[in-house]
Structure 1
């Protein structure tokens, strides 16, 4: 039963105001029709009556005495219930009142509330939301009085249930007693994202925003072999998708990724295989799926999208699935011929927040600090090769900073090499736990690094680079050499010691070369990349949502 009065003082004609392409009242009508075939609207307004009847819903004409500003809902619902029973010649044991001002309520919540009533053998049920807070009241003399016994953080306060107005379930026995709530009452805690009751223009704005909010599933990989760059990118994007439903998915090969995500307090769901993930996406009805798992197969992407049932986005995908996505974003590759569903190039790099706020160090004509960093895992062991060159080129008083991640299998050998090198170069330091990499990078005059996302981070800090690729895929990343802010030596395993040493000596000792590289890096607005990416994601989801209004 949906009570939809025509008069509304705060927002004129509120129940007929369009929200997401249709009148407010029709949102709950459609949700109710997903739950049951027996849906009725009670109204005193001819236009609401016409709209609802055109939508295939039974309408009960509310008498004038039940359409006053101060008329409570109980007699309105009871009148409509008796009228519908008389018209249809059918008895209804339960009546569910759903307010038209609760457009975010779901059919799943209606089902859960009804199940709760039956399981608890209750006479009625009311939807509530947990409104626990530090409340105050006033004494008879107007003196402020705390409504709590102890000042605690919100999560440690006892529950304080507030009616949402969205759902009230009443048994026939209660209705016959002239009320909607009576006998044994049960409470149904609604999901917070469904609890909005539209009572102001601000509420309409919130409702519109929430209706367009995606329900997000992010599948990501991260381990010793692949590093954690994919995870950091997805964490950066996730922090900007303001939606109450956002779940990360990792498989057994990416336990490192799952551990990192959990430390950032995002929900993580483990899955066994691709089929299980696809099934979870379907069952949980996600509207936006993001893959950061490298190459995908076309069959996998098609299975995720279904019959255009959701938006599917992939990052760094060169597989056959890239052309099947709603959108593919490849920031590490520069393609001159655009593809309809794909965004390529440095403009779409997603830097971590720390780099967006990092200061830019002025150019230092005299090189003093060399940074060696080859990612969290350095699978090709390039750190050791870089250290050997550094000890040959740098003078004893100059600084060498080596950053090694927790997944580096050569950590013990690197520690030994640093200890040995410190005998001639006392200003060498080894960092294995770096909470803010930007703080380290902005102190560097030159970096020896791999050819992955670290190139963008160094470029953001305007640090000239000499790069070596960890593998053949990484060797196809072009930003470093195209920006002319890096000298790329190619596949690291093929770089001999003489080439690396001579290149380092030439760049380290030539301030004009380094200055040119520094200035070239200043031409690229990398810090706006995350904004471009998030806007692109939300734009394709918004367009999909507009074409799939329920």
Structure 2
């Protein structure tokens, strides 16, 4: 959206806008006096709708129509245009919104030279109501795009309802449903929310902003939430505060750091979408994970005992993410006393049967439970891995080695020694995690070996290192999927038994070269696989493509959508800014 000045003292000559948003806002409302001035989250009600319009990509100009000097001042402070005040008679209780919109369009056309806003017969006119504070910019954009596809019909926002509705006929109630059944099986009805309308002059001139056969977009519960009373204001304040979200996660040592990075990625994504309070609970026996979380600005409550159930409950959470591998049945069951939504990540323990949602991106399952989601579609990647464009070199020159946060089998020393001995002409970079403990053995290597590779610690640009590499050698954790996302061919050596099955699956699909379990694999076997892969340019190209096809980068959004669904019982949306 382009910025505009609110100074209209001089004529302005600018290109016409593609769309104009009109927000009709009375200075006084007959049923709820001064409604549009009421504060929610420290901002006047009307400001929330203005900000939704400002965040919408499909809106170019935002105009507030009001008769109030005070409300006009507020609207300008928050970025809207108020080039004129409408007549008092257009703010009377019986005046239709359509009349206000027609007046606003007429006045803007008269003031085109000073405002720079040109409204043609085909200009999308977006009407947003000021008493719907949580209108989602994405919904506004969807409505405008739908209107552009068929501008003969207006677009309205609706809310899907499945309930036992009745209508009064001749003094009697008649059911609007055929039979009583579970709500999810009832035929859906659609309620006009009043939050979003997209129309044009020809439709308005017919005396309505909707027309006879409107198109529609379906919004969620909170996007349709209206303010019509003081009780609504109180509810809106609570919605605006957002939920308390607790992450129970450990990282470092034998666990690696993947769990911590996953939770940090989810936390950052949630913070970008909504107001909330985020807390972490971690076992103090894993200080590396705690240090990383705190370095990102989050507070960490130390878990005591290791489950941390008492600490989680003390935080009064609305949502709990459990990312601790194998949860206990009793622990998860106890958390239900908090009434929080419980989401388990990468969990194969007994507790998953008691979670509200289970998301296991690294494990496949035949479970038919509708609240269990398995497979790489739900893999959560850090932002740095988005939209990486690989380049597969015909000749291999650069090899990246990375074996997790702790590398308990010390594959780093074994594999780099064997590779340097076999192919000293390659350029090697070895990434060591924060809990790598075999420095003495690594530093004891002969200078002719040690000088052939670069050691990297505290890495902050993993995606760039993966792009740099022609081939990677790694363990069987999250790094495999990050390499797949970057299109980097990889040879994999697992460090534990739980990684075996999924690596065998990825190898069968031609996505990685799986060498075997590190405890049962000789370093020479790993070298043979790397050398063989380096000699097969066609195979590396195919591996790169298959890896990128497997990981589309939308896992984080799918997990957020799942969280929204279970909280609101809607298709999307929950707490919003």
Same fold (TM over 0.5): yes
Distance 1:401 1:200 in 2: 63
User: Is the alpha carbon distance of 1:520 and 1:206 closer, same or farther for their aligned partners in structure 2, counting shifts above 3 Å?
Assistant: farther
Task: Tell me the equivalent position of 2:568.
Answer: 542
Task: Tell me the equivalent position of 2:557.
Answer: 531
Distance 1:315 1:257 in 2: 17
**Is 1:297 equivalent to 2:328 in the alignment?**
yes
Distance 2:380 2:257 in 1: 14
* 8 A Cα contact 2:391 2:467, kept in partner: no
Shift of 1:341: 2.2
**Is 1:340 equivalent to 2:370 in the alignment?**
yes
Distance 2:375 2:327 in 1: 19
**Is 1:467 equivalent to 2:476 in the alignment?**
no
**Is 1:430 equivalent to 2:455 in the alignment?**
yes
Distance 2:343 2:350 in 1: 14
RMSD over aligned Cα atoms: 3.6
Shift of 1:533: 1.3
Task: Tell me the equivalent position of 1:267.
Answer: 299
- Post-superposition Cα deviations, 1:104-154, rounded to whole Å, max 9, x if no partner, equal 9xxxxxxxxxxxxxxxxxxxxxxxxxxxxxxxxxxxxxxxxxxxxxxxxxx
> Which of 392, 409, 429 matches 1:401?
429
**1:249 partner SS:** strand
> Which of 249, 264, 272 matches 2:281?
249
**1:314 partner SS:** strand
Task: Tell me the equivalent position of 2:544.
Answer: 518
* 8 A Cα contact 1:452 1:477, kept in partner: no
Shift of 1:14: 12
Distance 1:379 1:274 in 2: 22
* Counterpart mapping for 1:68-217 below 5 A: 207=236, 210=239, 213-217=242-246
> Which of 211, 227, 231 matches 2:256?
227
**Is 1:450 equivalent to 2:475 in the alignment?**
yes
* 8 A Cα contact 1:323 1:341, kept in partner: no
> Which of 315, 318, 335 matches 2:348?
318
Distance 1:341 1:212 in 2: 27
**2:553 partner SS:** helix
Shift of 1:519: 2.1
> TM-score if structure 2 supplies the norm length?
0.56
Task: Tell me the equivalent position of 1:421.
Answer: 449
User: Is the alpha carbon distance of 1:346 and 1:416 closer, same or farther for their aligned partners in structure 2, counting shifts above 3 Å?
Assistant: same
Task: Tell me the equivalent position of 1:8.
Answer: 33
Task: Tell me the equivalent position of 2:405.
Answer: 376
Shift of 1:319: 0.8
User: Is the alpha carbon distance of 1:297 and 1:519 closer, same or farther for their aligned partners in structure 2, counting shifts above 3 Å?
Assistant: same
- Post-superposition Cα deviations, 1:340-375, rounded to whole Å, max 9, x if no partner, equal 321111111111121125x32221111111111101
Q: How many residues align?
A: 358
Shift of 1:324: 1.1
> TM-score if structure 1 supplies the norm length?
0.59
* 8 A Cα contact 1:389 1:504, kept in partner: no
Task: Tell me the equivalent position of 2:316.
Answer: 285
User: Is the alpha carbon distance of 1:224 and 1:312 closer, same or farther for their aligned partners in structure 2, counting shifts above 3 Å?
Assistant: same
- Structure 2 stretches of 5 or more lacking a match? 1-28, 41-132, 134-226, 573-577
**2:390 partner SS:** coil
User: Is the alpha carbon distance of 1:283 and 1:510 closer, same or farther for their aligned partners in structure 2, counting shifts above 3 Å?
Assistant: closer
* 8 A Cα contact 2:32 2:228, kept in partner: no
